[in-house]
Structure 1
Amino acid sequence: ELQRCVFTDNLVSLSESGRDLGKFSVSVEFACRAQQPCMLVHAQSQGAIEDSLCGTTVTGLITEGSHLLLMRLFALKGKVPENMTFISIDQNLHIISATFEQLGVEKEEFDGECMEVFGIKRTLLFSEDDPQTWHCYFLPDHMVSRVQLGSPVAVKILQLPSYQEKVEIPKMSLSWEEDMQMRSKFLDRKEEQKADHASYLRRHPEIRALISDFLQFLLLRKPDDVFQFAREYFLPFTCHHPQSESTQAVDPSI
């Protein structure tokens, strides 16, 4: 399911009159931190309010970034579990309470087509008298609108996303020699196999004699085609193939 969350949403900020105020984007990608796989969330908004440039950027997997990823997962499942309340931290390192609720399914029009969208209500409680609430809608995973209650600005999508885009997962280098746990497992497995092989050879001493005889005969004849020579040498040991004339001419006792 996390793999299905790896994509970028591009929306625009609109005023109540429909004026374009700026852009809003959210991207999720796989990353690696301290040799551990993780998810990297990058959210950015930029625009102008009353002709003054403004914008914010959030990168990481805490606070706003984790909330955006959680809502993508809720939208994929089409359901928000009950009592979804988390203790979070804002950008000023203040402890806040984050609550998610399901708004249900509504219908919105995109490019002249009416489509169903899944709504999620997110509430941040900085203090008992200062809650902030957003209504976010997804189709079925991409965010199509985001509105903060009481704000004159709404974030909406203008063009429906293409669902034919392939998600490319970057390859992460694995240095198992530097991982103490993996190296320990490797050494344990190595010793286990060595002991198992040694035990098998002790139970079958004929293996050493067979290989020794073959090597002596090989060095004596020094054939150009080693594979053909080995085939003819070991062919008499099988019960499924009759001996060929060339094999019968070979005397392993020499």
Structure 2
Amino acid sequence: MKKGQAQQLTVRAFFSDGTERDVTRWARFASTDATVAEVDEATGLAKVIGHGEGAVTAWYSGQIALARITSPWQSDIPDKVYSQTPRRNVIDDSVLGQLHRLNLKPSPKSSDSEFIRRVHLDVVVMLPTPEVTRAFLADPSETKRDAMIESLLAQPEFVDYWTYRLSNLFLISGRKLRPDALKSYYQWLRGEMEKGTPWDQIVRQVVSARGDTMKNGSTNFYSVHQDPETMAENVSQAFMSLSINCAKCHNHPLEKWTNDQYYSFA
């Protein structure tokens, strides 16, 4: 849709008896990004007021649905700009696809000096030394960026930093754990970081953990939770990036989580 255009949204409900009905007049609407589109809360008339991508949510009888609105920038960018942009993996495919839909020009490849600074800060949270920087800039190899990444991933600073970052996610804290249990929990996580254990395997170890908290550090995830409701909320937030807290008392107003699903999950 173009800036200034309007679209009337309709909501149709499908009931268990097989009937279908237009329930727009009883639905309530809201925009997830008012800088892109606004919507009349009562009627569902949406209007594009800016460029970008947003969504309009519609609620009816405890159910929620989304209508995505895309408003491309008014730029004259040939299709070949996107097709000729270098791609390394599926992430690039997704990013370039979205840039194409929004009519935004891809950023140019970073320079070697920009790359080495960024990759050090991202991976080990330290600036590269002058010696490492000079050697990298002087290296004519086409694979030097890959080699630099692998080198940083093998450094103990990488393990230290990401163990620290994930400690917050796994709630590794002395506020609810005894010193010995805290040490066991932390050492388990750091060991997985050192081994390069994939994320899905780490999560499986935690949610299926059994045994002594001193011998199997991952079991301490259960020790920091005092009730199944809190554990369900933390598991969904940490491992699925979903906040289901609101569904504890009622159907979630922004997600497709119902109150029954909350307690089934817990």
Report which of the two structures shows the higher radius of gyration computed on alpha carbons. Answer: 1
TM-score of the pair, normalised by structure 1: 0.17
Q: Which has the higher helix share?
A: 2
Q: Which has the higher contact order (CA 8 A, sep 6+)?
A: 1
Q: Which has the higher strand share?
A: 1
